Amino acid sequence: MLTATQVTTTIGRDSTFVNLITSNSFWSNTRIDVSQKRNVMKHRTGTLYTQKMAHIYGRVISSSCLLCHQPDSQIHMLSGCQNASLQNMVTERHNIASRLIIKILNKGDFGRIIIFTDIGSETRMAQQSLVLPTHVANRTFTPMASTKPFSR
């Protein structure tokens, strides 16, 4: 199994898989400020400052996440931490991205084949000016009583 870095490197070598205009539009997007671009580059290069990095540099005693006390890393910080407030942020980030994708799909030929989404509440969709066609079912799950991840 390839890691995300290996996949990115492999795809980067074969430009037939990459739309260079779309891929690089990030740099010219005026809605993304310099600090956000810097953080993306730190993530891409593995230098995003985490508790684990602070521990490597000798600035803290433990490399564990301060919120959930699990081993810290970039992937843990961006989507793996089971702390309830971070999970809500990750879920909302997912929903915002999904709503943007659905909005674009609705403009094209594929919009008519969407039958199910899980992209947040009607209120949140309205904030992004998204109205789903009547044949599309949107399911919003309510938070579970337990914050522990389920095991398979």
Domain ranges of the chain: 32-81, 83-143
Residue with the bigger pLDDT between 140 and 61: it is: 61
104, containing H or E segment: helix 84-107
Q: What single DSSP character describes residue 138? A: E
Q: Is the pLDDT of residue 61 over 50?
A: yes
- Contact between 135 and 115 under an 8 Å Cβ cutoff? The reply is yes
What is the chain's mean pLDDT, rounded? Answer: 78
At 140 the pLDDT is: 65
Q: In whole angstroms, give the CA distance from residue 149 to residue 152.
A: 10
Least confident of 18-27, 48-57, 102-111: 18-27
77 in Cβ contact with 63 (< 8 Å): no
pLDDT at 54: 94
Rounded distance between C-alpha atoms, residue 138 and residue 118, angstroms? 5
Over 60: is that where the pLDDT of 31 sits? yes
Can you give the pLDDT at residue 17?
Answer: 65
Q: Is the pLDDT of residue 4 over 80?
A: no
The DSSP 8-state label assigned to residue 50 in this structure reads -
Mean pLDDT, rounded, for 38-56: 90
Which tens digit of pLDDT belongs to each residue from 96-137?
Answer: 888 888 888 888 887 777 878 888 888 888 888 888 877 788
Q: How far apart are the C-alpha atoms of 115 and 134, rounded to whole Å?
A: 9
The pLDDT of residue 15 is: 54
Q: Which of 20, 74, 86 is nearest to 46 (CA)?
A: 74
